[in-house]
Structure 1
């Protein structure tokens, strides 16, 4: 696994590479980076048809690009916060989807750490641990 952090806009990532972000079970997507995901890719009914549950990874495909929606909010609603355990479960689910689909490049924001308030150092360690033996490049985009 290769892990790198860059400054810039996540939506400038190469169009053939996967994207991912965290959402609540209700798929509200009304704040933070979830808003441009909803605006750019739509698909809320398609996501709801996949049966959103906490710990699950939902997928949309747009122009051949997988877009992963990690259901991390423990109390189901958009204004609640995730736990590290919920994030770990969704990352493992996403990993399985990525490996089975042959996805080798993933672009993410600092998942779980903006409005969701998890500790980026701990989340980074978690991502590195989960993907440590996999042939994947993970690029984290930050506007800071």
Structure 2
């Protein structure tokens, strides 16, 4: 029997939970990332199976859980071959036939199924739902809890059973800087856009963050920061959740981890000095607007002015406004001048005005 369900699939009281995967061994976004954090043993087995070529479209990769408080089976359902590509309805149909076979063979009495191939996969929910209902029509005694697309559950409610990662000097500086910024903002939590710029400036003042920044819509952007956030999420911060990577999503440092963060910084004076420098830099610019402006102006000065040219409003403002039409509409010459002077005062752009 089909039951339309709501909430967090990972906490469903069912014999089996279905996870949507690709055949490449990546669980980087969406419900797959939630499964990766909630069931690390399943993820490790899945990666090994992908390397061996055992995870294929039209076949289920099933692992059994020994946890007393969770599902018996975790069923990895390939909805696409490569994580970059969209899902195919043919893959869903082939997979559903294999899924029903697994349910019969393993005596599964209840199963929770996400919106297969929808969301990141791009398939229409109404068509997928109809195919799931058809596939289970001959199994009326099996309770099928079917979850419609509804966005990710709150990040703080997502199970995370991964091991706590090592707190390196760079990570401590990053966490400390975001927390400092969080306290400056006060009335709201920092957005991913702002967190990106905090990490950018930490790297610019010399902290080896190993981030690959490039020119992007909202200023300097490092796609590989997502890996740092995914590893820290649930241990030192919350908000990354299913890895949606949206500029406005909120990132919050877990306050109980701060003594450890502060302890690491106290043992690393060079990193602590860089942290202090960024903490001072962001004051007065604590908003998405302010941080985008500051990051964009700095990028222009470093990457777009002729070598050796002293940055001025006359040279920087047109380049900031030429970045995109959005920035031209958003950032006035006066505001760019304020950001430029602030960067100079903090040793990140030429010589301060007299």
What TM-score, normalized to structure 1?
0.88
Residue 25 (structure 2) aligns with = 27
After the TM superposition, which parts of structure 1 deviate over 3 Å for at least 4 consecutive aligned residues?
none
1:142 positional shift: 4.5
Alpha-carbon separation, structure 2, partners of 1:84 and 1:30: 22
Is 1:72 the counterpart of 2:79? The answer is yes
Alpha-carbon separation, structure 2, partners of 1:26 and 1:20: 18
Residue 139 (structure 1) aligns with = 145
The partner residue of 1:83 within 82, 88, 109 is: 88
Alpha-carbon separation, structure 1, partners of 2:32 and 2:39: 10
The partner residue of 1:126 within 127, 131, 135 is: 131
Structure 2 CA distance for partners of 1:142 and 1:86, relative to 1, 3 Å: closer
Alpha-carbon separation, structure 1, partners of 2:33 and 2:93: 23
Are the counterparts in 2 of residues 10 and 142 from structure 1 also a CA contact under 8 Å? no
Alpha-carbon separation, structure 1, partners of 2:142 and 2:91: 22
Greater RCO, 1 or 2 (C-alpha within 8 Å, sep 6+): 1
Alpha-carbon separation, structure 1, partners of 2:2 and 2:119: 19
Residue 59 (structure 2) aligns with = 56
1:121 positional shift: 0.8
Unaligned runs of 5+ in 1: none
Are the counterparts in 1 of residues 20 and 117 from structure 2 also a CA contact under 8 Å? yes
Alpha-carbon separation, structure 2, partners of 1:140 and 1:85: 20
Are the counterparts in 1 of residues 27 and 33 from structure 2 also a CA contact under 8 Å? yes
Alpha-carbon separation, structure 2, partners of 1:58 and 1:67: 8
Residue 2 (structure 2) aligns with = 3
Is 1:94 the counterpart of 2:92? The answer is no
Higher mean alpha-carbon deviation, 41-50 vs 56-65, is at 41-50
Is 1:44 the counterpart of 2:50? The answer is no
Between the two proteins, the alignment pairs up a number of residues equal to: 140
Alpha-carbon separation, structure 1, partners of 2:44 and 2:127: 33
Query: Rg larger in 1 or in 2?
Result: 2
SS state at 1:33 partner: helix
Structure 2 CA distance for partners of 1:143 and 1:8, relative to 1, 3 Å: farther
What TM-score, normalized to structure 2?
0.38
Are the counterparts in 1 of residues 118 and 149 from structure 2 also a CA contact under 8 Å? no
Offset from partner CA, 1:48-88 (integer Å, 9 cap, x none): 33711122110011126111111121xx2111111111111
SS state at 2:84 partner: coil
**Structure with higher strand content:** 1
